[in-house]
A and B are shown apart, each in its own frame.
Chain A
Amino acid sequence: MSQQEIPPGTLDMLVLQTLARSTEMHGFEIAEAIERVSADVFRVEEGSLYPALQRLLIKGYVNAEWGRTAENRRARYYTLTSAGKKQLAVEVKSYETATNAIARILKPGFA
């Protein structure tokens, strides 16, 4: 199955959710996690990951700290903040509402 692009507007939400599941990750790990957990449906376009991370950083939804990887390479590790947690809940809610609405429209027999 070929990989799909992440639906527009949902990258932020997916990043936040990924960080919610673990303590801290650096950019590459986040990309990998999304691809893995989505059963490889999604392929993270690197071109959009880092701008997204910068956005989330500025808005205060994530924190970033420089640290060391297992191979002792310098990497920036991201963690979710409490504000980020709240924002995640908000985005998930709105995504679910949107999805339900679409599902209703797509149900056969909808007049």
Chain B
Amino acid sequence: MPIPELIRRLQLLFNRDQASRDLEEEMRLHLEMRAGQVGEASARKRFGNTTAMQQRSRDAWGFTRIDDFAHDIRFATRRIWKQRSVSLTVIAVMGIGIGATTAMFSAVDAALLRPLPFEKPEQLMVVPIRVADESSPRESEINFKAIGRMPELFSHVAAYGVGGLNMSDGTHAARLKVGVVTTDFFATLGANPSIGRVFLPEEGVPGGTRVVVLSDALWKSQFGSKPIAGLKISLNNRTFDVVGVMPPSFTFPERSDVWIPMSVPLTTESFEAFRDFVRQSTIVRVVDNVSVDQARLQLLNRIINAPGQRWPRHLEDNAPWIAQMRSQGGVGESLQTVLSSDRKVALYVLLGATGMLLLIGCANVTNLLLAQASVRRREIALRQVLGATRARIVRQLLTESVMLSLAGAVVGTMLALTALQAIQTLMPSKLLGVTDVHVDLRVLGFSVTLALVAGLLFGMWPALGSARNSAAEAINSGDGHGSTAARSGRLRRLVVGTELALTVVLLIGAGILLRSFSLIVNRETGLQSENVGTMEVAFPMSTKIPDRQRAIDAIVKRIAAMPGVEGAGASKTLPLATAGQLINSIVALGSTEVKKPGTRDAVTMSEDATSGYFTALRIPLLEGRYFNEGEDLAESSSAIVSASIAKRYWAGQSAIGQQFHWNGDTSNFTIVGVVADVPRKLDAEAWDQIYRPLGGNAPFVATIVARSSHSATTVLSQMQAAVREIDPTQPVFSLRSMADVRDVSIAPRRSSTKFLTVFALLALTLASVGVYAVVSYGLAQRQRELGIRAALGATGGNLLALLSTEMAITALIGVAAGVAAAWASARILSGLVYDVDVRDPATFVVVPIVLLFAAMIATLLPARRAFRVNPAEVMRAD
């Protein structure tokens, strides 16, 4: 519509009354003039129905649709207010359904749908290469620079790792999260500093200047937003110059407080502060006219066909690996996928669950409206007689439904807002600080769309049903106590049956997750984590191994001497905590292993520990001995291995006294003890684990563990006190009980399980209420029929049985359908459960029984009123 026309229409809209009067006057004049010609009567006949003509003229203005719509809304509002209790119920049910779905959508949106907050994030990709370090025994490590030499594929390359460093400003020490990044990191992501600059190429080489970039939060809290010129920061007793500050929104990776340059290649100096190992990722940005998928394929081909390139050993000549990469479409993965991969399945399953919850809610509301519709039959019939078309009536009824649904959406969105904190726990850990869950326009838009669809969905059936009935029949037959009641009763039972089926699916899903979770929580971990405290200490770069050994030994001995302490020890890392161990494969001498051809070497983890470590954690000794005092303090070639290693390489013999060495190395270790397997994660198999004595390998960052006969809190304060007594300036951090460490490791699983359980219980409530409502209403509707039966000799018990049997059949069919659906779709959960069959028989049996029991109660409660059916009263009533 062109603008001038639109303006004229709007003017008419605002001056409607005046314009109508003008029209009236104009037509009166015309009529008079015509009358002057042919006489009054003839003129009137020619004119016809003035009212209709005026209406048609007004119709030319084009407001009919707006007018009708406004009228529909007014009418719907009046109706909604008149039936307050029904309306409130609908709004409440929709609030729950839409609220839950919106809340889950906000999580799914933040984690999986919203593009990452970097420039052109669809061009970012993670590739499986590392920055090589000088001292690495693996010479065939792919060189980071090799990727940089593919400018036709990639415009930027950067590597990043996450570590921790001590910051001290003379008075107190704090532990900072450090992003160790190559100099091109910020440019690759397209992130610009808000103050100053990022790193220069010359700062990214071994021995380069020590500079840092601060995060906005740290700059404000630690330096009071001072200008950065001349600002310095001390990390692990080394001084760094501050050269820039990032904007508040940028904290990648993993909520970093500062960023320091990663030297290429890595040197002992650069990474020793991070326990000899920086967990690295390499990201690249593909050039403009190449897609990530194309680049992935290209990269794979380059790797296969590259002569003279030194690729990592596991990439070379490895046909199974190459075949697998091919089937995945290439090497590497888009950044968004990598960051969100660990929660993708869980998020989608939960979103599906809320969708089902919403459907159950809609089903309840449909039933409610169907019941209402039969009451309103007369009113609607009257309107039909007065000239309302069927389409118009349906539209009016749908307007009502949609308005109720939108009101429910408002309630639901407010509920979702209050639950945002809880929803945040569902986010993938790597995305924390990158994107957060919040209710923004997209989420609101989703909520409104959902409300519209739901309103149409649950309103359609009742509306169509209402408009279908012939007016005369409706007016004559009273308020639907007759034969149509039976049909609508069947309809309602069908809807309830569907609800029950959906509820069964949700309950089974929740049940399986709960079982899996409880198994994991109670899993035998090969250690006992109650009453154990852990902490970390970090030593300056200037210290030597013997100094560190002495210090660690002193700390451990001091703690062990404290009252109530049953054992204390030190190690490099903690079980059930995040990684940090060296990984390699071992060559076992005298091994009796029969390796299947084509399989890769088993991966072996390496931990350094003192004897006290094993006793503090109560890791059972299966054979041989723990380390002795001498091994705790000095270099030695003894080693302790886990049971899985003994079984793998020396099955049928004793592993004690056997020898092995690292792949690529020659110095041999001699096994002195075998301990039980300790899994790295509660929901994973234990890996092959070897333990070297800490003495001779004392790290810059050590973990101290201690067991108390009292509680973890007691021993934690004792541990802190011990360190303070020995050296007050020694920073300690990461004070946590072992139980906490264990809880954190299963936190994601816990939150998924909690959410699904809540949804399933809500569904159970809604479905039970649905059953109750249908039986209750059916009873009221069939008063006449029941009265006749009673008059013919049926007892209260007979009537009760009649009503209950109908519902019982519905319930059985619904539950059976639900079980079948759950059986068929159980595989969806396989990524979320561990150690439990997705078709766990116990769950599949218990859930239907529970639901049928609930349905039975929900049926009998209202059906008891069947006893009060009085035939005489019923006959009189109509």
Contacts and interface: CB of A to CB of B under 8 A. Distances in A.
Nearest to A66: B22
B60 A28 contact: no
B23 A60 contact: no
B29 A74 contact: yes
B9 interface: yes
Contacts of B33: 28
Interface stretch (B46-54, B288-296, B524-532): B46-54
A46 B48 CA distance: 8
A20 interface: no
Interface in A14-53: 26-28, 31, 46-47, 50-53
A46 to B, nearest CB: 5
Given A47-B48, A50-B57, A73 B5 contact: no
A81 B59 CA distance: 23
Given A28-B29, A28-B30, A46-B46, A58 B62 contact: yes
A50 B27 contact: yes
Contacts of B34: 28, 46
A46 B62 contact: no
Contacts of B4: 60
Contacts of B52: 47
Contact of B12 (A53, A58, A76): A58
A57 B8 contact: yes
A35 to B, nearest CB: 11
A97 interface: no
Contact of B26 (A50, A52, A58): A50
A27 B54 CA distance: 14
A27 B57 CA distance: 13
Contacts of B49: 47
B26 A51 contact: no
Interface string B9-29: 100100000000011011101
Interface residues of A, number: 22
A55 B49 CA distance: 20
A58 B8 contact: yes
B61 A58 contact: yes
B56 interface: yes
Contact of A46 (B53, B59, B61): B53
A69 B32 CA distance: 13
A64 B47 CA distance: 22
A40 B48 CA distance: 21
Given A27-B26, A28-B30, A51 B56 contact: yes
Interface residues of B, number: 28
A108 to B, nearest CB: 40
A54 interface: yes
Secondary structure of the B side of the interface?
Answer: helix
B59 A51 contact: yes
Nearest to B29: A75
Contacts of B23: 50, 54
A59 interface: yes
Given A46-B46, A47-B47, A50-B23, A58 B60 contact: yes
A70 B33 CA distance: 12
A74 to B, nearest CB: 7
A73 B29 contact: yes
A22 B27 CA distance: 21
B8 A60 contact: yes
Contacts of B48: 46-47
A14 to B, nearest CB: 17
Contacts of B46: 46
Nearest to B54: A50
Contacts of B54: 50
Interface in A63-92: 66, 69, 73-76
B25 A51 contact: no
Contacts of A51: 53, 56-57, 59-60
Nearest to A48: B56
B66 to A, nearest CB: 15
A68 to B, nearest CB: 11
A1 B38 CA distance: 18
B41 to A, nearest CB: 15
A26 B61 contact: no
B50 to A, nearest CB: 9
Interface string B110-138: 00000000000000000000000000000
Nearest to B55: A51
Contacts of B58: 54
A76 B315 CA distance: 89
Contact of A55 (B22, B25, B30, B60): B60
B96 to A, nearest CB: 48
Contacts of A54: 23, 57-58, 60-61
B273 to A, nearest CB: 78
Contacts of B60: 51-52, 54-55, 58
A46 B26 contact: no
Contact of B5 (A47, A52, A59): A59
Given A26-B26, A27-B29, 4 more contacts: A27-B30, A50-B26, A54-B58, A74-B29
Interface of B: 4-5, 8-9, 12, 22-23, 25-27, 29-30, 33-34, 46-49, 52-54, 56-62
23 contacts: A26-B26, A27-B29, A27-B30, A28-B30, A28-B33, A46-B27, A46-B34, A46-B46, A46-B47, A47-B47, A50-B23, A51-B56, A54-B23, A54-B58, A54-B60, A54-B61, A58-B9, A58-B12, A58-B60, A66-B22, A74-B29, A75-B26, A75-B29
10 tightest Cβ-Cβ pairs between the two chains A and B: A54-B60, A28-B33, A50-B57, A55-B60, A51-B60, A51-B57, A28-B30, A51-B56, A47-B53, A54-B57
